[in-house]
Chain A
Amino acid sequence: AQSVTQPDIHITVSEGASLELRCNYSYGATPYLFWYVQSPGQGLQLLLKYFSGDTLVQGIKGFEAEFKRSQSSFNLRKPSVHWSDAAEYFCAVGAGDYKLSFGAGTTVTVRA
């Protein structure tokens, strides 16, 4: 079975600074990888996904993620964060049965 680890529970970053959220997965085959963002009390919004091909994936809101098979990682990055990026971020891995397994999430706080 697949699993996802997000090592950072909480990250605080200054507005305008860069952000990187870590995600490591465990899965025997080529995974389908996702990053979602959740604002307080809201559902999940897809930021980006990786299925195959180019390992650097561009998403919405200026986010990107890089798939590194050798490291079993799919880290999310943003060059310059905005106060509106404060939210909970979830990494997820999908398998052949289309079920998603989510990481525990990383809370991002943006300070002025």
Chain B
Amino acid sequence: GAVVSQHPSRVICKSGTSVKIECRSLDFQATTMFWYRQFPKKSLMLMATSNEGSKATYEQGVEKDKFLINHASLTLSTLTVTSAHPEDSSFYICSAERQRTSYNEQFFGPGTRLTVL
């Protein structure tokens, strides 16, 4: 159990276009999902926390108008990179939180490689 999927796994787009990435918890409900960005050979940087039915909470320095997050249901969160530019090229990873008695554990998706030309 606790499988998280992401779609697409890889996307190439032209500069100025928008790209939507989906994150789904396949076998559990997740009231909270997280979006991370990972640069080559670097750690994961938390971008935002997505709560079902409410606005996302963005980390400092993350442009909320560029990275639109929607968490419309307990199993789906989407990240839309608006007016993408080459510097937005990165590996985006989502995680979904499953409630536990002691600690809410995060389960990670396989990631989406975004390349902006």
* Chain A interfacial positions (CB closer than 8 Å to B): 32, 36, 41-46, 49, 51-52, 90, 94, 98-105, 107
Q: Are B102 and A90 in contact (CB under 8 A)?
A: no
Q: Are B103 and A98 in contact (CB under 8 A)?
A: yes
Q: If A43-B108, A94-B103 touch, does A103 touch B43 (CB 8 Å cutoff)? A: yes
Q: If A32-B103, A44-B93, A94-B103 touch, does A99 touch B46 (CB 8 Å cutoff)? A: yes
The complex places the Cα of A111 from the Cα of B41 at a distance, in Å, of 20
Pull 9 A–B residue pairs with CB atoms less than 8 Å apart, ordered by A. Answer: A41-B111, A42-B110, A43-B93, A43-B111, A52-B102, A100-B34, A100-B106, A101-B46, A107-B41
B43: chain A residues within 8 A (beta carbon): 90, 102-105
Count of chain B residues with Cβ under 8 Å from any Cβ of A? 25
> How many inter-chain residue pairs (CB < 8 Å) link A and B?
49
The residues in B between 26 and 49 inclusive whose CB is less than 8 angstroms from any CB of A are 32, 34, 41-44, 46, 49
Say yes or no: is B104 at the interface (Cβ < 8 Å to chain A): yes
| Min distance, Cβ A59 to any Cβ of chain B, angstroms | 14
B44: chain A residues within 8 A (beta carbon): 44, 90, 102
Question: Contact flags (1/0) for B62-80 with A, using CB distance below 8 Å?
Answer: 0000000000000000000
The complex places the Cα of A36 from the Cα of B49 at a distance, in Å, of 20
The complex places the Cα of A94 from the Cα of B46 at a distance, in Å, of 12
Q: Are B111 and A42 in contact (CB under 8 A)?
A: yes
Q: Are A104 and B93 in contact (CB under 8 A)?
A: no
Q: Which of A43, A46, A94 contacts B110 (CB 8 A)?
A: A43
